[in-house]
Amino acid sequence: MATLKTPALWSSFFPVHKHLHTYYLFMCDCNAIVITWSLLGVVCSKRLLRESNHYLHPDLVNEPVKRYPLVLIWIISAVSGFSLANQYLPASIEEDSVNKPWRPIPSGRVSATSAARLRWIISLSGLVFSLYAGGQYEFILQIAAVYWYNDLDGSKGWFIRNILNAIGLTSWLFGCINVAGGTGLRYTKTELSSAGILILAVTTTMSIQDFRDLEGDRASGRRTLPILLGETPARIVTSVLLLAWSFGIAMASKKSLIFTVMLELMGAALAAWLVLKRSKKADKAALQLWYVWFAGFSMVAVGA
């Protein structure tokens, strides 16, 4: 009687499954960024197109939704390059061995050399893609920020680390907006001012990511805000800055009262969470909540 060779069939697909799982482990910490930034790009670009082209080209307002797959490819390429660059250098491996031993390199799933090759393959492919889809200048800017952050040790000092994070995150957002809007999108001085506000807001609040990684940051020699000031003062400073930005942008915005009050409540809740909830699990959640806060802040600052 013939026997089914299911194990042999499965084994032929297993290498692909294994590689996909390894890629997922490189990227999984950034899932919230990919989803949030891509959707923000569509929403904000619709508003910009509505304001600048509605009366001349009404069909352009629906273009961002149609271009969402392009936005998703763009942001995945950008974020993948950062994630890989942030994990294969010696200091990063040492930090991950303490904070995230399940990641592909410290767990032995893949070598640092292979990760480095994949980083540049994805980054260069993403740059070529951006020449077709849009957002090429934003893509180049984020590549430069990622290179400075990782390869030139920009992540060692807390201030330059936060600035580079801010440039990277803001360029990702505006890249998504650019790709979603297509050729009909034109930036004005207002959008450029909004980009400056976002960079300042991220620079002054991005220390929220450092509380979950205290042990690894100490091991790798990083000088983050919690290490420089102490954990409790750093939590208080970051919380005050979150409140200041939330209420400040809400008062300066012309958005509806309900929308601005929601942003203020988000900022207040996140600030309280950061001060009152002190555990590794809570600090991981705080960063995810910060992404939600950033989405609300961006929609007020850039528009929706």
The predicted-structure confidence for 213-239, as pLDDT tens digits, reads as follows: 787 777 777 788 888 888 899 999 999
In sequence order, the β-bridge partners of residue 157 are 223
d(CA 143, CA 188): 24
Q: What is the pLDDT of residue 81?
A: 92
d(CA 222, CA 211): 13
DSSP type of residue 152: T
Task: Report helix, strand or coil for 262.
Answer: helix
The predicted-structure confidence for 58-89, as pLDDT tens digits, reads as follows: 666 778 899 999 999 999 999 999 999 988 88
The predicted-structure confidence for 234-271, as pLDDT tens digits, reads as follows: 999 999 999 999 999 888 877 777 878 888 999 999 99
Residue 209, CA distances (Å) to 29, 124, 141, 214, 276 in order: 12, 28, 22, 10, 16
Q: Where are the domains of the chain?
A: 24-301
Residue 277 contacts by C-beta under 8 Å, 6 or more apart in sequence? 283, 285, 286
pTM: 0.85
Question: For 88, phi and psi rounded to 5 degrees?
Answer: -105, -5
The predicted-structure confidence for 281-304, as pLDDT tens digits, reads as follows: 899 899 989 998 998 898 888 865
d(CA 107, CA 25): 11
